[in-house]
Amino acid sequence: MGDYILEMKNISKEFTGVKALADVNFQVARGEIHCLIGENGAGKSTLMKVLSGVYPHGTYKGDIVFEGSVQSFAKISDSVKAGIAIIYQELALFPDLTVYENIFAGNEVRRGAIVDWNRTIVHAKEMLRKVGLDVNPEMRVKDLGVGKQQLVEIAKALSKNVKLLILDEPTAALNENDSENLLDLLRELKKQGITCIMISHKLKEVISIADKATVLRDGRTICTLDGSKGEISENVIIKNMVGREIEDIYPKRPNKKFGDKVLEIRNWSAYDAQLGRQVAKEVNLHVKKGEIVGIAGLMGSGRTELALSIFGNPKSYRLQGELLVEGTPRTFKHTSDAIQAGIAYVTEDRKGDGLFLIQDIKSNVSAANLRGIASNGVINDNEEVKVAKRYKESMFIKAPSVEQIVGNLSGGNQQKVSLGKWLFVGPKLLILDEPTRGIDVGAKFEIYTIMNKLIEEGMSIIMISSELGEVLGMSDRVYVMAEGRIKGELPIEEADQEKIMQLATQ
């Protein structure tokens, strides 16, 4: 059937014990726009990395048939040579170089060993015309908007005689207008015979542009929908994306009792001057005493940014709106102010900005509350060991001693150390950002148990999570975020996977 430019057959890929892809089959016909859809962690990016040679031949199982022959890409440049180009969400441009230098970076127009800059500029202009970008090729890329930068990336791909163009969430950072332009360009390229795979979370876009759409879930192909047969619709896609039974690993809390509002934010907006865009827009949200509030949404929807803007604003966003802690308006100049007000934030990236990996467990546990083990600024070492031992036991941290270096612990145990550090501060409100990412089921269950215990002790929790099962299993109320806005608020009784996904992909 049909003329396939690409067939990926029975692709499986494992990361130390975790199956990221299991027998994935994926077929793309020549000249079509094929959308790849799935939740965070469904395996879309992994599949594209296998295709482009980021994970070289031999590290996965299965066959890649491109242009009729089985390929064994050992590195990215092999796939580029074959005519495959990927454009990632985080653009891979050199901001301080000019447009023409960027288009031909790694693919220089040269005469012998010498770069021919004049011909480079001529070629660059040609490529820019193709993508419909009207800028001076001698401009620096950083002076262009994100939408135009994206077009430069596409021009770069075209300069390499691309046959198959892969776009990873190309419109995630674009405004409406730029998005529309980009989709028009893709349609134009299709006319010129370029095949395109697009990963997207925005279902409206998918419906408007896709000839076919393949849904991945938990590393498996669920279905391929054909637009010409009218199969691509929001309901069908969402059903296929989420249609998974929630495993019952969520411990129940029998008697729920909610008190007054611990935290409330009103018309809260945050502007990131470095990125030049609004990361949170007019957010209204509150948490009651004894409540677990889930914030669902896809990656890049602004959840982490919102949490940081509340937690003392370490990224120095420009803030607007009101923040109330237990009914009193507050402004936090530094994270230490937020901590003092009783807020704790357990980061999403525990290795990057959560833990002191070269230090031991006890130093990590005490790091945010050294005054709790010191008098007059002098630390009581023994008290510190005692505290660390207490958390090691109550959090089930598996390590020979509290002198163990945290960098040597497993992900789950690191997460518990991170949690322990914040519990020692004694917060009223705990913000957990992806509390169980990358940790095994056993440790997950332990963390859920700890969460419930904290709630019973009168704490409140905001849980940011991309895992719908976790959101539905643990929360008392759910907010759904997308594009920096709260798209909806659902009491847990009314929330289900379809509803959340619908709001998150608006």
Partner 1 sequence: MNFIHEAKSLVKVNIRDYGMYIALFVIMATFSILTDGLFMSSRNISNLLDATGYTAVLAVGMTLVIVIRHIDLSVGFAAGFMGAIAALLLTQAGVPVYLTIPIILLLGIVIGMFNGVLVASVGIPSFVSSLAAMLIFRGALLQVTEKTGTIIIKDEPFNAIGNGYIPSIAKVNGLNLLSLLLGVLIIILYIYFEFSKRRSKLKYQFEVVSKRIFALKIVFVSAIIAYITWIISGYNGFSWTVIIMLAVVVIYHFLTTKTVLGRHIYAVGSNPEAAHLSGINVKKITYIVFGSMGLLSALSGILFTSRLQSATTTAGTLFELDAIAAAYVGGVSAAGGVGKVTGSIIGAIVMASLSSGMNLMGVGISYQYMIRGGVLAAAVIFDVLTRKKRA
Q: Which of the stretches 126-134, 227-235, 330-338, 461-469 binds partner 1 when contact is defined by CB under 8 A?
A: 330-338
Q: Which amino acid is at 182?
A: L
Q: Where do we find the tokens 């057959």?
A: 9
Return the residues of window 310-329 that contact partner 1 according to CB under 8 A: 311-312, 314
Q: Does 385 bind partner 1 (CB under 8 A)?
A: yes
**Could you give the angle at the alpha carbon of 188 between the alpha carbons of 183 and 194, nearest 5°?**
100
The H or E element containing residue 156 is helix 146-159
> Rounded distance, CA 375 to CA 470, Å?
41
Q: How far is the CB of 384 from partner 1 (least distance, A)?
A: 10
Nearer Cβ to partner 1, position 102 or 313?
A: 313
Could you say which of 357, 396, 428, 496 contacts partner 1 (CB under 8 A)? Answer: 357
Assess 462 for contact with partner 1 (CB under 8 A).
no
Q: How far is CA 236 from CA 163, 213, 214, 396, 505, in A?
A: 30, 11, 12, 42, 14
Among 95, 329, 407, 442, binds partner 1 (CB under 8 A): 407
Which of residues 227 and 354 has its CB atom nearest to partner 1 in the complex? Answer: 354
Q: How far is CA 224 from the centre of its chain?
A: 24
Q: Residue 497: CA atoms inside 13 Å, Cβ hemisphere, count?
A: 18
CB of residue 21 vs partner 1: minimum separation in angstroms?
31
Please tell me the count of residues contacting partner 1 according to CB under 8 A: 38
Stretch touching partner 1 by CB under 8 A, among 166-174, 282-290, 404-412, 443-451: 404-412
Site for partner 1 in 146-175 (CB under 8 A): none
Footprint on residues 268-297 left by partner 1 (CB under 8 A): none
For partner 1, the binding residue among 138, 143, 353, 494 (CB under 8 A) is 353
Rule CB under 8 A: is residue 371 a binding residue for partner 1?
Answer: yes
Report the sign of the C-alpha dihedral through residues 152, 49, 10, 501, in that order. Answer: negative
| Residue 400 engages partner 1 in binding (rule: CB under 8 A) | no
| Euclidean distance between CA atoms 69 and 11, whole angstroms | 16
Closest approach of partner 1 to the CB of residue 433, in Å: 11
Q: Angle CA(48)–CA(51)–CA(55) in degrees, nearest 5?
A: 90
Pairing of strands 477-482, 485-491: antiparallel
Query: Judged by CB under 8 A, does residue 386 bind partner 1?
Result: yes
Burial class (CB in 10 A: 0-12, 13-18, 19+), 235: exposed
Site string for partner 1, 408-437 (x = CB under 8 A): x------------x----------------
If the CB atoms of residues 214 and 313 are measured against partner 1, the closer one turns out to be 313
- Beta strand 378-379 pairing with 261-272: unpaired
* Positions in the binding site for partner 1 (CB under 8 A): 311-312, 314, 334-336, 338-340, 345, 347, 352-359, 363, 366-368, 370-371, 374, 377-379, 381-383, 385-386, 405, 407-408, 421
